[in-house]
Structure 1
Amino acid sequence: MSTPFSSPSMMEAAIGGDADAILALLKMSQPDIRRYARRTCRTTSDVEDAVQETLWIVYRRIGRLRRAGAFSLWLFQIVHRTCLRLAKQHIGLPDDVSSLENDMQLSKRPESELRIDIAAAIQSLPSHYRQVLILRDVDEMTISEIAQSLELTRETLKARLHRGRALVREYMMR
Structure 2
Amino acid sequence: MDLLEAKIVTRAQKGDRIAFAELVELYKDKLYNLSYRMLGNPHDAEEMTQEAFLKAYANLKKYDSRHKFSTWIYRIATNCCIDRLRKKKADYSLDAPLDSDDGGDMYSVLSSGDSPEFHVIAREQRFELQSAIEQLPPSYRAVVILKYIEDLSMQEIADILALPVSTVKTRLHRGREALRTYMIQ
- The structure in which a higher percent of residues are helix is 1
The alpha-carbon distance between structure 1 residues 132 and 87, as it changes in their structure 2 partners (threshold 3 A), is same
TM-score (norm 2): 0.49
Does the Cα contact within 8 Å between 1:11 and 1:21 map onto a contact in 2?
yes
**Aligned partner of 2:164 among 111, 116, 121:** 121
Alignment partner, residue 103 of structure 2: none
Deviation per CA, 1:28-57: give whole Å up to 9, x if none.
211111111112124222111101111211
Alignment partner, residue 60 of structure 1: 58
Alignment of 1:41-120 (within 5 A): 41-67=39-65, 69-91=67-89, 115=155, 118=158
Cα separation, 1, equivalents of 2:81 and 2:50: 11
* Letter of the 1:32 counterpart: K
Structure 1 SS opposite 2:68: helix
Alignment partner, residue 11 of structure 2: 13
Matched, 1:153 2:181: yes
Q: CA deviation at 1:90?
A: 2.0
Alignment partner, residue 95 of structure 1: none
Does the Cα contact within 8 Å between 1:4 and 1:25 map onto a contact in 2?
no
Does the Cα contact within 8 Å between 1:4 and 1:28 map onto a contact in 2?
no
Structure having greater relative contact order (Cα 8 Å, sep ≥ 6): 2
User: Rg larger in 1 or in 2?
Assistant: 2
Number of aligned residue pairs: give it. Answer: 117
Structure 2 SS opposite 1:17: coil
* Letter of the 1:132 counterpart: H
Deviation per CA, 1:66-101: give whole Å up to 9, x if none.
216332222112111211222233239xxxxxxxxx
Cα separation, 2, equivalents of 1:131 and 1:35: 19
CA RMSD of aligned residues (A): 3.9
Cα separation, 1, equivalents of 2:21 and 2:62: 16
Unaligned runs of 5+ in 2: 91-154
Does the Cα contact within 8 Å between 2:12 and 2:19 map onto a contact in 1?
yes
Matched, 1:132 2:173: yes
TM-score (norm 1): 0.52
Cα separation, 1, equivalents of 2:5 and 2:156: 25
